Structure 1
Amino acid sequence: MTIDALLKRPIKGGPITIEQQLEDGANYARYIASYLSEGNKIYGLLTVPFGDPPEGGFKAIVFNHGYIPPDRYQTTERYVAYVDALARAGFVVFKIDMRGFGNSEGEPTGTYFSPAYTIDAISALKSLQTLDYVDPEGIGMWGHSMSGNLVLRAMLIEPAIKAGVIWAGAVYSYDDFARYSIEDPSYNPSAAVSSASRRVGQQIREAYGPPDTSVPFWKAVSLTEHIDLLQAPLQLHHALDDGVVDVGYSDDLAAVLNAAGKVYEYYQHESGGHNIASPAFNDAMRQTIEFFQQNL
């Protein structure tokens, strides 16, 4: 779970298997695909632009969803407009289930007390690098809500991520968590996420107490305490009326990025709620696409 341990941990990719061809999108093919992450078979929605790839290959995005009850998750549902917009813009998009979601193997653990989803995302990136039509040096990550935490953690430890975009991210220093709390059931160890998630969170609190970066363990796992490791540009989006993840999380992350001299963009949206829904969605997605086009 500590950043140092993740830096030393080998995270592997492998072949991507096409499991099912779906109905085409406007200018791209759609597939249910799978790959292996720590021995778990992980499914995902893979989109591939029509036509021959450009020299060097298509740019690609690992798309990381927010919290959805794992037993209700389906690979082809949710985030339809998000994936469609990125796919229409010419990116290969791999929206991964993550372990324990839908038909994917493994146990769901959440992103706050376990590195498992981060490992799944990096494994997906390294698996995309094996595809001959993908530019292995042109892959970014997108994450929403709980996956904001995932994206930043992944960017701290994996230099192959060339750009990251976070929407409504629960990316926090532990002081932020104490200040703002969070209406996200993937964090709450009493929520029905999984017995493993509850158990790990409880064990960590029992061993180290509540989050406090004056405690060596909490400092070792804090993302903001390791922001110097961030090398790639990062774009943040947050709606002011987000009732799930307080905009203060993104405000404070932007302040940390600014103080560290990192390359970042931060967009606040007047409306849209936690999903940054229309009409704010249109501006946020346009800015997201332009950012990936400029940095991948």
Structure 2
Amino acid sequence: MLRWLVGFLWVSSLGLSQTLTIDQLSRQHYGGGTLSVERVLERTQGFTRYLVRYPSQGLRMYGFMNVPNGAGRFPVIILIHGYVNPSTYRTLTYTTRYADHLARSGFVVLHPNLRGHGLSEGQPEGSPWRILYAQEILDLAAIVRAQAGRGALEKALPRIGLMGHSMGGGVAQRVAVVDNQIRAVLLYSSMHGDDLKNAQQICYVFTNGARGCEEARNPPPNLAQISPIYHYHRLRAQVQVHHGTRDAQTPHAWAEEICTALRRNRVPHRCFSYPGAGHTFRGQDYALLMQRAVAFFRAALN
């Protein structure tokens, strides 16, 4: 009882109204409402980019969707962006190039703007656990499955993969251990699956003591119930991990630890190291990442 009370008080002190544990998240209902097109943003030879809107947790969420121009229906990839200062974030951000490549390769790509970013309502999440961000993606995945084949998603198939960079990789891990219908997860320079390590990195490395320090120094007693890495046994998705050996933001050792945990839990996976690459890939590293990503999603989602 005392441990439960300590955990409850810790959660209350953060001002979080949502449940935190993986088990509690898995018992919530997701989806409801529809994804709609606001306007066309761009027409290219291979795909059309739309500004889209969908509901989540009582908020209006926005993002863009790339839809291949060819006939037929296509699997869906939800691309989750990493940390960008919300005050400078724009709908078309650094991850646009990944979305465009995947759309030209035959996937409907949804790039949601997380709460408080761009046009999306709500406040950016301050908690290092990113629970609210994960709920938004869980809502979006449920809407895609329910609406696939009609309306704005008429070209979409109800087969979904996730690609997350940095913070987005941490969100993707939480989503995938909660939603067992996610079929493929690609982690690119990802945050750890252990939320304490993320909080410590945020406090001591990213912000020089400005954020995440209370969580880093006083973690909740039920941290193992919160952190995705302790729930990889729930994964029904195939996983790929891509990480540069000179990543100064999310250490390459984290990828090795994630891959060890995936192997221990017998999750189908492949792990790729990129010698000399940093947090965001360029040149040949980027080309190889996208070549592997397209092959991975084609095999897992088709």
For the aligned pair, the TM-score class normalised by the smaller chain equals 0.7 to 0.9
Question: Paired residue for 1:52?
Answer: 71
SS in 2 for 1:36: strand
SS in 1 for 2:87: helix
Quote the offset at 1:272 in angstroms: 3.1
Structure-to-structure mapping, 1:229-248, within 5 angstroms: 229-248=234-253
Aligned partners of 2:182 and 2:236 also within 8 Å:
no
The counterpart of 1:254, out of the listed 238, 255, 259, is 259
Aligned partners of 1:272 and 1:278 also within 8 Å:
no
Amino acid at match of 1:107: Q
Question: Paired residue for 1:28?
Answer: 47
Aligned partners of 1:33 and 1:45 also within 8 Å:
yes
**1:175-218 Cα shifts (integer Å, max 9, x gaps):** 75588777445xx8724xxxxxx6xx74x56xxx534xxx7411
Which region of structure 1 is more displaced relative to structure 2, 10-19 or 115-124?
A: 10-19
SS in 2 for 1:72: coil
Aligned partners of 2:181 and 2:236 also within 8 Å:
no
Aligned partners of 1:238 and 1:276 also within 8 Å:
no
Quote the offset at 1:124 in angstroms: 1.6
1:210 aligns with 2:218: yes
Aligned partners of 2:40 and 2:49 also within 8 Å:
yes
The normalised TM-score by structure 2 is: 0.85
Aligned partners of 2:165 and 2:187 also within 8 Å:
yes
Quote the offset at 1:278 in angstroms: 1.8
The separation in 2 between residues aligned to 1:189 and 1:146, in whole angstroms, is 18
**1:107-136 Cα shifts (integer Å, max 9, x gaps):** 111563341110111112222221312111
1:40 aligns with 2:56: no
The separation in 1 between residues aligned to 2:101 and 2:41, in whole angstroms, is 17
The unaligned stretches of length 5 or more in structure 1 are 192-197
SS in 2 for 1:166: strand
1:135 aligns with 2:157: yes
Quote the offset at 1:173 in angstroms: 2.5
Aligned partners of 1:156 and 1:226 also within 8 Å:
yes
The counterpart of 2:210, out of the listed 171, 175, 190, is 190
| Cα RMSD, aligned residues only | 2.2
Quote the offset at 1:97 in angstroms: 0.3
Amino acid at match of 2:52: A
Quote the offset at 1:80 in angstroms: 2.5
Aligned partners of 2:61 and 2:115 also within 8 Å:
yes
Quote the offset at 1:25 in angstroms: 2.5
Change (3 A) 1:149 1:50: same
Quote the offset at 1:145 in angstroms: 0.2
Structure-to-structure mapping, 1:64-75, within 5 angstroms: 64-75=80-91
1:228 aligns with 2:247: no
Aligned partners of 1:143 and 1:169 also within 8 Å:
yes
The separation in 2 between residues aligned to 1:75 and 1:174, in whole angstroms, is 27
- Identity, in percent, stands at 27
The separation in 2 between residues aligned to 1:12 and 1:284, in whole angstroms, is 31
Structure-to-structure mapping, 1:150-165, within 5 angstroms: 150-165=171-186
**1:133-173 Cα shifts (integer Å, max 9, x gaps):** 2111x111110001111111111010221111010001233
The normalised TM-score by structure 1 is: 0.86
Change (3 A) 1:224 1:40: same
Amino acid at match of 2:148: L
Quote the offset at 1:17 in angstroms: 1.3
Aligned partners of 2:129 and 2:195 also within 8 Å:
no
The separation in 1 between residues aligned to 2:253 and 2:33, in whole angstroms, is 38
SS in 2 for 1:236: strand
The counterpart of 2:114, out of the listed 94, 98, 109, is 98
Aligned partners of 1:272 and 1:281 also within 8 Å:
no
1:115 aligns with 2:131: yes
Quote the offset at 1:271 in angstroms: 3.1
SS in 2 for 1:273: coil
**1:244-270 Cα shifts (integer Å, max 9, x gaps):** 110111110101111111101100001
Amino acid at match of 1:18: V
The separation in 1 between residues aligned to 2:183 and 2:286, in whole angstroms, is 23
Number of residue pairs aligned between Structure 1 and Structure 2: 275
